[in-house]
Amino acid sequence: SIFMHADGVDWILMGLGLIGSVGDGCIAPTVFFITGLLLNDIGGSSFGDETFMQAILKNARALLYVACAAWVICFTEAYCWTRTGERQASKMRQRYLRAVLRQDVGYFDLNVSSTSDVITSVSTDSLLIQDVLSEKLPNFLMKVSTFFASYIVGFIMLWRLTIVSLPFIVLLLIPGLMYGRVLINVSRKIREGYNEAGSIAEQAISLVRTVYAFGTERKM
C-alpha cells in the first residue's frame, strides 16, 4: 500500500487534505451557481428597484465568502498533502536503507545487478511516491469532486439539460483509460532507460582509475 508508512499525524494531515481537496473541487461549481443566480436576478428585476439591489448585494457577499473560503481551503489542501508526502517519502527512504543494509552480501550478487539499481530505487521511487502524495492524489480528488459537484449544480439549475449530457461521460472515461495505459508503459520504459544509463555511468566512473593507470586517456 502507498500509505503503509503513514502514522497518526500523516492520517490527520491526509484527512484534512481530503477535506481541502473536496472543498477545492466544489469551489468552481459554487461560483458558477452563484453567478447564475446573479444573472437571473439581473434579468428578472428592474434597475433601481430596492429588491434588485438587495439581491445583487446578497450574491456579491456570497461570492466574497466563497473567495475567502477558497483561500483557506486551497492553503489547507496544499500544505497538508505536501507535508504528509514529505514525511512518508522520508520514512520510506529510511526503512528501505535499513532493509538494504541488513541484507547479506550474497543478496547483492544474486538480486542486484549494480549499485545504480539501489540508488535509483531509493531516489527515483521515493520522489515518485512523494509526487503522487503531494500533487497527483489531491489533484485527482479535486477533479472528481468538481465532476460530481458540477452535475449536482446542473441538476439544481437545469435538470433536463443535465440529463441530456449524461451519456457524454463515456466519451470522457474511454480516452482517460487509454491515456493511463499509455502513460504506464512510457513510465516503465523511462525507468528501464534510467537504470541502464546509471549502470553505464557507474562502470565508466569506476574504470577511470584503470584508464589513468595505463596512461590511455587520449585513446579513450
Q: How far apart are CA 98 and CA 93, in angstroms?
A: 9
DSSP 3-state assignment of 70? Answer: helix
Tens-place pLDDT, residues 66-124 = 999 999 999 999 999 999 998 888 888 888 878 777 777 766 666 655 566 666 667 77
Tens-place pLDDT, residues 193-217 = 776 776 676 666 766 766 666 666 6
* Cell reading at 175: 480516452
The DSSP line for 179-199 is HHHHHHHHHHHHHHHHHHHHH
Q: pTM of this prediction? A: 0.73
Q: Which domains does the chain have, with CATH numbers?
A: 8-157 (1.20.1560.10), 160-219 (no CATH)
